[in-house]
Amino acid sequence: MNRRKFVRQGILGTGAMMLGMSSLYADARSDLKITKISHYKDPNYKKPTFNQATDIVVVEVSDGTIGIGEGGSTEMIQQCAELLIGEDPFRIEHLWQKVYRGYFYPAGREKLHALGALDMALWDIKAKSLNVPLYELFGGLTRDYVQCYSTGFPRQGSLKETASACMEAGFYAYRMGTASSGDIFDPHKWIDATYEACREVKEGVGEKGQWAIDLHTRFDFAEAVAMCRLLEPLKPVFVEDLIRSENPGVYKTLRNQVKVPIAVGEHFGDRWDVNELIEQQLIDHSRITLPNCGGITEFMKIAAICETHYVGLIPHFTGPISTAALVHTLGALSGFAMSEMRGAGPASHDYLNDDYVLFKNGKLYPNDKPGLGVEFLPKKAKLVNVISKKPEFDHPMFRRSDGSITNW
């Protein structure tokens, strides 16, 4: 009996399956090979306001098991997927390093997006092969549900009434954006209008409710400081993206001038994008999300850095498959965590099973189906590409004497 079958049939059949599960799974290899990767367009995807794709990737292995992932562009999925053909899908960290380091230059955020989709599908395959929900591969659940904060909660009349209705719906927090003042961006007028809107929202959520605001990188340094100082007495649970994200080092100066909790990360990718902000405790919450950071493999590493430095996890909203993945990852992590939800709850998608996520009273609940718990209906989506061959010119890689990959 090979090792994979031993893990499935022997260990998983005992009452001790929960003890040391993550290490057992991490060591297990398989006799499986990745045979084909299919790329589909999300039929519900509309003209984007920002570059967050919800394309679907389906990774198929030699025993017919498939894994579902989400994200990436056609060109980057093609390049990354070719490097996976013929590989053992259980060696997820090894494959992450191969794709990340492949073609020499450091991975940009577009490549991370595609890698994130493929990585997600590999975790789905591994958990399905072991017949357990994904969160079990990370040591099991640490929380009963993942609390959510709502962005764009359905308008109920006034801002006060909307924020109040959001709290009544069970959400942890109501999240708002800046209030505009005419068609021309005048930061000083927008500051005044935003402050008045925030006062109304604070009144709506009440003393026991929470609220947050996204400044959306619209303000320059002085205006961001002025805005945050006005908001301090209103006690937001976080203020997001105070200034533009091109120069994250500016938060070293900004941190000393404001007292509101700072949330940053939706513009960033892997751990090297955000590690200084976390390690120097320049932010209070990370907004990095799936699949943008490079997938579940990378998200869990970023989460460990956050836990070490007491930084909360409040990922940006994402596509439906990635939302399902976030429940598994956040559900198995320690520390403060919230998931962003658009509107009053997750939307249905005709290319996914109805219960791809379990949502009730403003909370996401773990799905105990094997893998992500997501079923993809390919006939409801448009096939873009099928990758079944290795690259014509596979990029050379250096390996250390122990077999681990390093840069070429």
Domains of the chain: 32-131+377-406 (3.30.390.10), 137-365 (3.20.20.120)
Q: Is 25 a residue whose pLDDT tops 50?
A: no
Q: What is the mean pLDDT of residues 36-58?
A: 83
- Of the pLDDT bands very low, low, confident and very high (cuts 50, 70, 90), residue 43 is confident
Q: What is the mean pLDDT of residues 372-376?
A: 98
Is residue 125 within 8 A of residue 89, CB to CB? The reply is yes
State the Cα–Cα distance between residues 99 and 114, nearest whole angstrom.
Answer: 10
Q: Is 368 a residue whose pLDDT tops 80?
A: yes
State the Cα–Cα distance between residues 225 and 215, nearest whole angstrom.
Answer: 11
State the Cα–Cα distance between residues 209 and 207, nearest whole angstrom.
Answer: 6
Range of lowest pLDDT (3-7, 162-166, 223-227, 287-291): 3-7
Place of tokens 């303000």: 219
pTM: 0.91
Q: Which of 318, 406, 405, 297 is nearest to 364 (CA)?
A: 318
Q: What is the pLDDT of residue 184?
A: 87
Higher pLDDT, 399 or 325: 325
Q: Is 19 a residue whose pLDDT tops 60?
A: no
Q: What is the mean pLDDT of residues 109-113?
A: 94
The overall longest dimension of the chain from CA atoms, in Å, is: 71
Q: Is 17 a residue whose pLDDT tops 60?
A: no
DSSP letters, 36-93, are: EEEEEE-TT----SSS----EEEEEETTS-EEEEE---HHHHHHHHHTTTTS-TT-HH
The percent of residues in the chain predicted with pLDDT above 90, rounded, is 80
The values of phi and psi at residue 100, to 5°, are -60, -45
Six-digit token string for 310: 């007491």
Q: What is the mean pLDDT of residues 266-292?
A: 95
Is residue 352 within 8 A of residue 374, CB to CB? The reply is yes
- Of the pLDDT bands very low, low, confident and very high (cuts 50, 70, 90), residue 16 is very low
Q: What is the mean pLDDT of residues 337-347?
A: 96
Higher pLDDT, 157 or 52: 157
Q: Is 5 a residue whose pLDDT tops 90?
A: no
Q: Which of 384, 319, 395 is nearest to 83 (CA)?
A: 395
Packing angle of the helix pair 296-308, 271-279 (nearest 10 deg):
10
Q: What is the pLDDT of residue 398?
A: 87
- Of the pLDDT bands very low, low, confident and very high (cuts 50, 70, 90), residue 49 is low
Q: What is the CA radius of gyration of the chain?
A: 22
Q: How distant, in Å, are the alpha carbons of 238, 274, 278, 283 from that of 249? A: 19, 10, 11, 11
Q: What is the pLDDT of residue 50?
A: 61
- Provide CB contacts within 8 A for 224, sequence distance 6+: 215, 242, 243, 254, 258
Local structure of 360: helix, strand or coil: strand
Average pLDDT value over all residues in the chain: 91
Q: What is the pLDDT of residue 280?
A: 96
**At 238, which helix (H) or strand (E)?**
strand 238-240
Q: What is the pLDDT of residue 28?
A: 57
Side-chain half-sphere CA neighbours of 224 within 13 A: 26
Packing angle of the helix pair 109-129, 74-82 (nearest 10 deg):
50
Q: What is the mean pLDDT of residues 80-90?
A: 97
Is residue 44 within 8 A of residue 319, CB to CB? The reply is no
Q: What is the pLDDT of residue 4?
A: 44
**Are β-strands 285-286 and 312-313 bridged in parallel, bridged antiparallel, or unpaired?**
parallel
